[in-house]
Structure 1
């Protein structure tokens, strides 16, 4: 079967594409993404596809990386396709978030893909993972002791991200490039055994193929089986969640999920573990599951019918003789941080685009931009907006995207909150800042705070933080606009 026909079959059978779709293509310049671009371009007319090309220069490899950037831009121009190119220091981006450069680069790429997809009107995002990538990921997660979800490896589709090469092997991609006479760029780091994924690909898989010549095919079949069984268990978990989770307003309004102890412990161990994971993910503080060790610590508390456990990203579990509860403590300070007063308004995680927060009387819009005012213009505009905001108008800030630890969220103040107001050299207690601003005590807990994973980004309507401001070195910006949709809680 011709590779084009095989990819079309994958798109149809796995419901990846429909005629008339807009598709953002992640193009690194390597053979996989070049083949993907060529295949989708060949499908473009019959499928009536609108194609857009995105490339990120991670600034890892100096002149070589810039040559990759120019190659991708010229290839897009040759095909007559819109090109979105970015140059961002991924090493610094990752360091500021406590991530390794591989993880940080992946997060940033998908952030850019998502933003371009929204900018062009809700496109799908096509990336060039193929069957060999699926097998590599399976063995990486197997060696780390992953559960069924992890062993499901890379899915053919997740949200708006699609993988048209999912049923294609690496040798098939390379043969296609040769047959089509496609040029592509070589990233030397792909052959470096510094990275664990590369060691899996270069050393482990060739060794295993000595015992199973069809290792890629047989492992791919196993992944399909594991994925379908994991999906079934996820359906069972959701059904158990819907039946068991407590929905009393006073608990839910404070960002809590609660189970009756006897009902929770009546579930099979596999469902208990999955309910713990589901509760954690539904708190909205992380896109990643808890480690096995954390889950077992929670279940030990449940078994002993008492105690509390702090989990990553400011989530706390409390267990009593009759309840198992999950709730949010202060991000970054999960031990001993409690709200300054009983929370009346929940913490809300924000996404790119429009976010409606009716409980706050707000609409918050996040947009990524490549053009922005000068730092001086921004300071002047911020000062002018304060009076406008308190007369019911809008408030807008600009952030340096490389300094923001996404996701952003909106919350009330917490005991011990500190931030560095714009223009200050040191941090200040939020309580002292609000006193200096002559905010009445009864209104201080009702002021929205825009936060990232490291702390306060802005005191909405008053001041943004120095740490995330635009500078002359900014390469990409986030524009955050706040619009009051009714009387603000601050003015109530």
Structure 2
């Protein structure tokens, strides 16, 4: 069949974009995040085209969020079948996104996003893959920028969806949904339709179905192209400001307090940038109202207190602005009957099959490897308890977790947010802090589990 029109336009655009942004290098292993919809199915076929140019090794990954019953199960079977026809390895994970959202007290969309990326990153680590490719396109970028603008997320939010963040790449970011649909029609690429996309129940759907089409019809027919250009401008601006903010942050911030003397010397924009970063790193929702209120404390009387989301408050003392939490996080306890993911109020933790790697004593690591022969299910993921003891990696004796936390100068709030992974009554991993010596990999290890933890930060329109 002679290939013309949308095929040449889309493939050429993506190839140019990938080269310009240096998204791919020869011989890399890429995990394609495929939902079964038109966007991800087209991305999968585009990656197969690019495979010849970069000699890529492609893996297909899918998450079943259990949100649409038999329809969700059908999506999983469809993607599995598509991977089989293309001769590609397939991995999937089934989760209850609605239940996770209820447990973590966030929207279903936010819970699904955290679960999705946690699974892909865990899979990438366990397989030793280089990259994760998602099918975000120019329309998604426009919607994200508008959402962030409406929520007041600052310059970083207006930078839209980055072509690359860490190991995640977005090769279709340069093309529109219309181009993707035309490509799918020309190449006769089969895909699944998500029935929830046909409603205005979600903010993104409302923008996609009503607001953006109106803006394109009445204001700017080239809206997506304009927004991509603006995103690049804001991205460059954000990178510059990040460097300036870093210096100011180091000068003003100690722990969860801002020293007033150096803070007052800053321009108002930098003051707000420092506060934005401080709130974000503390895990407080970074709304425009919260940033403004905390920044203005510098000019208020000593003893003035501003209430913040999540039980936090900011207090103006004699020489600083101090953030404090009115209480510790509620105790939590989850069980894994096999490899899978749990999401708490402040974290997402995944246990998955992995490949053998050496254990290194890396305090603060978000990933660890354990000897699968030492693990028996169910595995418990719970909050720290008084009296907890374990054998830290590299040590011969047991140690109290309270002593370990004190040595790391952790606050009470931080201690109560750390997930503890337990198996048969023994602590396996103090997540993000230290592995237990008894579960490390040895020369006799034949099977491995990978443990990863992702601590939730700002919840905004980032993708």
Shift of 1:323: 3.0
Which of 68, 89, 113 aligns to 1:61? It is 68
RMSD: 3.9
Residue by residue over 1:334-383, the C-alpha shift from the partner in whole angstroms, topping out at 9 and shown as x without a partner, is xxxxxxxxxxxxxxx9988978455xxx98854699999665xx6xxxxx
Structure 2 CA distance for partners of 1:483 and 1:293, relative to 1, 3 Å: farther
Residue 436 of structure 2 corresponds to residue 482 of structure 1: yes
Structure 2 CA distance for partners of 1:289 and 1:79, relative to 1, 3 Å: same
Report the number of matched residues: 389
Residue by residue over 1:402-454, the C-alpha shift from the partner in whole angstroms, topping out at 9 and shown as x without a partner, is xx7xxx9xxxx7xxxxx6xxxxxxxxxx47x99xxxxxxx9784155999997
Residue 298 of structure 2 corresponds to residue 302 of structure 1: yes
> What TM-score comes out, normalization by structure 2 length?
0.73
Shift of 1:312: 4.7
For the 8 Å contact 2:63–2:95, the answer to whether it is kept is yes
Residue 326 of structure 2 corresponds to residue 322 of structure 1: no
Residue 231 of structure 2 corresponds to residue 223 of structure 1: yes
Structure 2 CA distance for partners of 1:41 and 1:371, relative to 1, 3 Å: farther
> What TM-score comes out, normalization by structure 1 length?
0.69
Structure possessing the higher radius of gyration over alpha carbons = 1
Structure 2 CA distance for partners of 1:370 and 1:178, relative to 1, 3 Å: farther
After the TM superposition, which residues 364-379 of structure 1 pair with which residues of structure 2 at under 5 Å, given as runs? 366=368, 375=377
2:92 is paired with a residue of what secondary structure? strand
Residue by residue over 1:60-99, the C-alpha shift from the partner in whole angstroms, topping out at 9 and shown as x without a partner, is 1111111111110111111111111111111111111112
After the TM superposition, which residues 197-276 of structure 1 pair with which residues of structure 2 at under 5 Å, given as runs? 197-211=204-218, 212-245=220-253, 256-276=255-275
Separation of aligned partners in 1, 2:302 and 2:360:
38
- Which residue in 2 is equivalent to 1:253? none
- Which residue in 2 is equivalent to 1:35? 42
For the 8 Å contact 1:364–1:483, the answer to whether it is kept is no
- Which residue in 1 is equivalent to 2:140? 133
1:96 is paired with a residue of what secondary structure? helix
- Which residue in 2 is equivalent to 1:279? 278
Shift of 1:329: 7.5
Shift of 1:227: 2.2
Separation of aligned partners in 2, 1:452 and 1:264:
26
Separation of aligned partners in 2, 1:95 and 1:445:
30
For the 8 Å contact 2:148–2:158, the answer to whether it is kept is yes
For the 8 Å contact 1:44–1:50, the answer to whether it is kept is yes
Structure 2 CA distance for partners of 1:305 and 1:460, relative to 1, 3 Å: farther
For the 8 Å contact 1:363–1:483, the answer to whether it is kept is no
List alignment gaps of at least 5 residues for structure 2: 1-7, 331-346, 351-356, 390-398, 440-463
For the 8 Å contact 2:151–2:287, the answer to whether it is kept is no
Shift of 1:306: 2.7
Separation of aligned partners in 2, 1:217 and 1:171:
13
- Which residue in 2 is equivalent to 1:87? 94
Separation of aligned partners in 2, 1:357 and 1:73:
37
Residue by residue over 1:191-220, the C-alpha shift from the partner in whole angstroms, topping out at 9 and shown as x without a partner, is 111112111111111211222222222222
Residue by residue over 1:253-304, the C-alpha shift from the partner in whole angstroms, topping out at 9 and shown as x without a partner, is xxx2554312101101110111112223344xx3x75112222222232222
Structure 2 CA distance for partners of 1:443 and 1:183, relative to 1, 3 Å: closer
Shift of 1:135: 0.8
Separation of aligned partners in 1, 2:122 and 2:73:
22
List alignment gaps of at least 5 residues for structure 1: 247-255, 334-348, 379-397, 414-418, 420-429, 435-441, 466-477, 486-492
> Using CA pairs below 8 Å that are at least 6 residues apart, which structure has the higher relative contact order?
2
- Which residue in 1 is equivalent to 2:380? 399
